[in-house]
Structure 1
């Protein structure tokens, strides 16, 4: 069998594995608040999240195309198949490390940093598509701050509107409303996160000479959506514990405000074809909601640990991918 074909098969397998891992790694983002407030049982929440993730994943392709040609030129990248393979190995490794320690790091940062690092190792800094790469970085950096602000505003608005309502009845109503917001959160997650694997598979197909356009093949869309859905069904309880309870003590109204805020931002990014970190957006929304309720109620020590992980993920994954690329070229 041709070496290039073997590499493409390996890349497709690893890309789907990345989507699977992304599914259970980021399941917490969609359902952590609804589980922690007991709006949904864990089993029901995971089934719903898996279903909505799948539906979201097959609905759009704009983010996938951005991943395909926004970081590097897929038609000109040197040793493109090996670059993509190194990037996937690096991103998966970082995802598993952070999952093991229960740290809600960004799969998006890991993947994008890994693609950039492997491409730089292959052909230097000129291999990057700086216009697209900077736009992607801006969306990754700015979106958590917007989420923080929107979470604060949303919670403040809820507090103002419902301040004279019966607390028990209001919480019961928001607990029901959280079923909708959790479903919306899962759907928006699928529209953005699953497309990253679609984009990297298409990038590999172009680099390997198996495709001549940036259109996302139907089989790639369906397989990535299935991998994300199955991964979601596995669940990520360590991260659910961190996101759902360690940042702040959540009540149904807090969970609904956080879910609604983050869903709007993620879906908005999908509509303009930009990848964002669902982990960053959800965690920042919760921090914003907590700050609106009571600044001291947010456990800023946990938040600081999450932020540090955000900051180090891109450079570490880039460096790791560069090293993996150099090792792979010794054998290929």
Structure 2
């Protein structure tokens, strides 16, 4: 009889244990999800949080560094190399945070990863153990539904070449302002006579931007066909690329016995073709956009 009661109690005991384990596991999973939900939106890198505004500010600063003309300006570093400039991927360190207690800077090792169009691709940090880049955890913002009856403002057509973008009207107005001024430079482009709408030419225009709260004028080239339609643009970008220094030996001088790397500043001219062609000067302006007497040598 005792054996029967022992067997009966055992049959009820183990299901209770299994049920209790499942209950604890479910509660732990629920608590973990709640903790994740309670996290503030942003990027979490090794426990350190960067808000979306921190990352956006770093992205804007890095984007401006592409076209800054200051010789001592910091440049975006090439993260992934490519023979095609349009496919280059860059890195930019997020500004160092400050310790809340003493206000000192904290040595951080977090970077934003972006392309030459300044599109954010990732936020990463270095894993000290593996010495590899790893993606930071992203906690997205929770958006509430907006009123459906709100009127949407239509966006104006724009074009982009690398880190610069323009509304089409801005390019046209900039061209009109320079048409009959000494600043207008018209340059014929080599090897474009075989194009259907060739030969092509290019003119120098400028775009006003703000870098570090200071006005800055970025010069660029607009590519025109034989109908004075805008075909594309050429924008100079300043970057920093890793350079490998190989071992060498020079008599009576310092010997370098190991391979080392250094960062070298260089410039690239990014040539872009626009999907949409448009007149440099609208027809209603009735201006001849190019004076042939101002044509420069072919380039």
TM-score where L is the length of structure 1: 0.25
Structure possessing the higher radius of gyration over alpha carbons? 2
Say which structure is richer in helix.
1
Say which structure is richer in strand.
2
TM-score where L is the length of structure 2: 0.27
